[in-house]
Amino acid sequence: MKQVEISIEREALPNGLVLVAEHMPHMRSVAIGIWVRAGSRGEPAGLNGIAHFIEHMVFKGTSRRTAEQIAREMDSVGGLLDAFTSKEMVSFNAKVLDENLPVAFDVLSDLVLGPLFADEDIVKEKQVILEEIRMEDDNPESLAHETLTQSFWRGHPLGAPILGTRGTVRHLTRDSIVSCFERWYTPANTVITAAGNVHIEGLLKLVAKPFAKLKAKLRVTSNSRSAPHTHARLITRNKPALEQAHITLAVPSYPLAHPGRYAASVLNNILGGSMSSRLFQNIRERQGLAYAVFSELNPYSDAGMLSVYAGTSRSTTERVLRSIAGEFARLKKEPVGADELRRAKDQLKGSLVLSLESPGARMSNLARQEIYFGRFFSVEELHASIEAVTADDVQQTALEFFEPQKIAATVVGPLTGFRLKRDLLAC
């Protein structure tokens, strides 16, 4: 395979801020992101949801712009402005034409350096986030996943909801918000990535004025908590008004940088990660028991979870649970065939390339690799690692993951008369 040179450039400022840029000369656009190691898993006790709340609040106004001016300035150049909070980081990002990068970066840097946190805005935003929590609670699939996550990581911040709870959000104060912001939003906790028609020299010029003079501080990330333990709990939530039972299962899997991550990805693809996967073909196509059925990996810096979801009628809930467990058992007992292994590898490699076609995807990938790996992997290197996975690797990973005593499960729906028992998950 022809080796393609990666035009990735990296600079670290004396205060600890890291800049990464990937030049894509055929593009007329640039995606840029400011990434802060300030995810929900490291929030202080009693302040669940504060990382997400800060992410919302920076858009409410800064020392230089009102909320309306922030929106208008990005709209005036046809730019896209977005942000999100995850378990281990917060991202503020934008996509613009290359000529408008200075405008986009000025807005982004203003958001993360000069938010006002006005008292009246805090009051209003609490109500907005409470409505967001209610919206998630009204979505049974989201409710099933969130219930499973909280149960699986019980007693650890990874299990706490990113949005927070009604109680914790209501009790957030301006003092606690400012304290966490000042602790987390520091140069050493921040990575700035850009991809598209951009070079590191241009990025350095943009960054110099707002960031270079900031004082260095020790990295005190919001993620500095102990590694979590998992809990194989079985939970049901009876919701008689629902039409379906929403099934979620989980087992422990590998952290992001674990050497076995490629085997885990192949295993997940075979199990439920594609339309040709065993869960999809068995439960949807052959038995007709579900419209939505899939599996996915949720890896973190020091832990991971492989989960399965299926939505089915109350009358077929037990049958779907036994079918999922049956696929776990088959992966443990029978080596994957050559054709199926080949198909899974090719699907993973193809989806990897397709997922990196846009500047936005590449910008996000740069941040992920810098934060979790401290190095950058070429597509060719990732493809070679996928190719190296053997049928024995997949089977050994299945034997490690699918131990009956490790399986957690949650079912949400019209469950009158239903009992979620361990023998339904026998594998």
> What positions carry a catalytic annotation?
55
| Structure tokens given for 79 | 């730019």
Residue 117: name the closest of 189, 67, 80 by CA. Answer: 67
Residue 138 amino acid letter: D
* Cβ–Cβ under 8 Å, residues 90 and 51: yes
CA 265/CA 369 separation, integer angstroms: 17
Contacts of 71 (CB under 8 A, 6+ apart): 81
Give the H/E segment covering residue 120: helix 119-137
CA 136/CA 412 separation, integer angstroms: 14
* Cβ–Cβ under 8 Å, residues 276 and 343: yes
Per the document, the length of the chain is 427
* Cβ–Cβ under 8 Å, residues 222 and 49: no
Residue 219 amino acid letter: R
Residue 161 amino acid letter: P
What DSSP character marks residue 160? S
